[in-house]
Amino acid sequence: MSAIDQLFQELRAAGRKTLMPFVTAGDPDLGFTAALLRRLAARGCGLFELGIPYSDPIADGPVIQASYTRALEHKIKLADILSMVAEMTAPKTFPPIITMLSYSIVFRHGLERYVAEARAAGVAGAIVPDLPVDEAGPLAEICRRKDFSLIQLITPTTPRDRALRIAERTTGFIYYVSVTGITGERTALPPEIVDNVAWLREQTPLPICIGFGISQPDHVRTLAPVADGLIVGSAIVRHIAEASTKPREQILQEIDDYVAELLAALQP
């Protein structure tokens, strides 16, 4: 059983949901990334999505694109990121960390090598948004053999027959994209999300986490009944962008306070 499978099994048994913050690795540097992850783990976040900086945006809005640019300007390397993760996950009690990265990084590194090195560093799985399900077979097979979760995305425009194929190829949990378009904070989310996720839940036993646009406690309260977890990214990364103009401890506290509000809205 993977670390992600174990987490959601425990959450379901307890009748609880989880919050998954997205953080760009190395923005503004890896020391800050590690400090933030530790702080949010202590706050009660159940798992983390760690963005691996890449020069070409995939589904990223301007806030996350800018964070990738800042990290790349510091010449951040995959090996440095995995080394940081290894330190974070050395205590086996640390929440699972999932990498979000472009397939070009995995392909260039080598599929077997990437999964082996990521798993050795304590990474629990990967989200590869630019890898279509029709082409995911080789990586999915390696991930299954290594007990490394390959999380795939389903969107509001995904045809239902294709959504079922994606669910069959997914391990860990399904990432349900709440809106059509790119990442970024929204004041309102489409009302059909709840019905769409409810249908998907009837088709698969996999946990379902919802991401894109979630930024307010009201969003959390609306989606928590149908989701196993909620993913929050741009609202957190926007705070991190102020690292050059504010003391880092102040930014860490601001994010901590913000996440505490979301967590309070998440649990019944």
Give the SS3 label for residue 164.
helix
Please state, in angstroms and rounded to a whole number, the distance separating the CA atoms of residues 190 and 179.
7
Q: Give the three-class secondary structure for 153.
A: strand
Distance from the first to the final alpha carbon of the chain: 28
Q: Is the CB of residue 242 less than 8 Å from the CB of residue 251?
A: yes
Catalytic residues: 49, 60
Number of Cβ within a 10 Å radius of residue 244: 7
Burial class (CB in 10 A: 0-12, 13-18, 19+), 48: buried
Nearest-angstrom CA–CA distance, 92 and 79 = 21
AA identity, residue 192: E
Q: Minimal CA–CA distance to 22: which of 64, 59, 58?
A: 64
Strands (E), 131-173: 149-151, 153-154
Residue with tokens 């009660």: 44
Contact 142, 112 (CB under 8 A): yes
234 close to 214: Cβ distance less than 8 angstroms: no
Cβ contacts of residue 186 below 8 Å, gap of 6+? Answer: 179, 213, 214, 215, 219
